[in-house]
Amino acid sequence: MVQEHQVTQADLIYPLFAVPGQQVAREVSSMPGVYQLSVDKIVEEAREVYDLGIPAIILFGIPTDKDGEATGAWHDCGIVQTATTAVKQAVPDLLVIVDTCLCEYTAHGHCGYLELGDLSGRVLNDPTLELLKKTALSQVRAGADVIAPSGMMDGFVQAIRSGLDEQGFTDTPILSYAAKYASAYYGPFRDAAESAPQFGDRRTYQMDPANGTEALKEIALDMAEGADMLMVKPALAYMDIIWRVKQATQLPVAAYNVSGEYAMVKAAALNGWIDEQRVVMETMTGFKRAGADLILTYHAKDVARWLA
């Protein structure tokens, strides 16, 4: 009766990784229980997720080919577009959120466009916006319900919003990765998404972990540009940011419980060193207490089962 916060299935968003092929289910070595799945398997997984009471998935894609223009990101037959259409057809009531970024599709693994031959890792912001616009449009045409741009480019919310509006997609919300830090906790994700930068790092566009107030500047920009929901990422080492963002906005706030956070819990649990269920539920409750309305987590299916 006096409990202040509850975790429910409705808070959860489950990340999925789509790969080309059929009947493919490849476990990610650094993320036990997480798989790269071909589209047929993604559809099966989507059904299971929906039946567990989880309202949404977020899709990432690993393309057959990577190039300088991130063609696989914005092509109408891209892997995420294909997976989106298949899931919406099979499980129409499951919300499909799509990650809108270039890093899985560029040969160099950066989230933006680089001058050919430039090895500095300094992305060209504005040419990237054009590619992100194209990517979001093709994703929405494929049936995506929510666009989630994750590259931390300046002006990306505004660019995507106007790109969608011009084509009549005025009702598609944008969940912005608004406060995203340059974090070592993304390591296992880069195995899963095959998106590690081939040179340099992401510190020219992601935030310095030492900065808190800067997160408020980032969310203010995204709110002014038309973001509908804001994300803080990673979550565990950034609980204070979740709290500050929640205090500073009236938009829903999402926390991304990232791959490295998942991997640490899984490793300890597999060694019998911690009680996995209690640790995960305590962590989820902590996110809610910190102010998160939504939680993106690889534990989502387990959490939903435990709650049931």
Active site residues: 180, 233
Nearer to ligand PBG, 188 or 291 (CB): 188
Binders in 108-147 for ligand PBG, by CB under 6 A: 111
Judged by CB under 5 A, the residue of 46, 57, 62, 103 near Zn ion is 103
CA–CA dist 180, 209 (Å, integer): 9
The residues, ordered by sequence, that sit 6+ positions from 287 with a Cβ below 8 Å of its Cβ are 235, 239, 242, 255, 257, 295
Binders in 109-138 for Zn ion, by CB under 5 A: 111
Region of 33 on the Ramachandran plot (φ > 0 left; ψ -120 to 50 alpha; else beta):
left
Closest separation in Å from C-beta 190 to ligand PBG = 5
CB 107 within 8 A of CB 114: no
Size of the site for ligand PBG (CB under 6 A): 13
Partner from ligand PBG, Zn ion, none contacting 300, C-beta within 5 to 8 A by type: none
**153 near ligand PBG (CB under 6 A):** no
**189 near ligand PBG (CB under 6 A):** yes
CB 145 within 8 A of CB 97: yes
- What's at 266, amino acid-wise? K
**7 near Zn ion (CB under 5 A):** no
Nearer to Zn ion, 151 or 188 (CB): 151
Region of 164 on the Ramachandran plot (φ > 0 left; ψ -120 to 50 alpha; else beta):
alpha
Partner from ligand PBG, Zn ion, none contacting 231, C-beta within 5 to 8 A by type: none
Give the containing element (helix H, strand E) for 202.
Answer: none
- What's at 300, amino acid-wise? A
Nearer to ligand PBG, 92 or 199 (CB): 199
Place of tokens 């890792």: 121
Nearer to ligand PBG, 123 or 251 (CB): 123
Partner from ligand PBG, Zn ion, none contacting 303, C-beta within 5 to 8 A by type: none
Peptide bond into 234 cis (omega under 30): yes
Q: DSSP states of 264-296 as a string?
A: HHHHHHHTTSS-HHHHHHHHHHHHHHHT-SEEE
Nearer to ligand PBG, 141 or 190 (CB): 190
Partner from ligand PBG, Zn ion, none contacting 189, C-beta within 5 to 8 A by type: ligand PBG
**151 near ligand PBG (CB under 6 A):** yes
**258 near Zn ion (CB under 5 A):** no
Contacts to ligand PBG by CB under 6 A: 99, 101, 103, 111, 150-151, 186, 189-190, 195, 202, 258-259
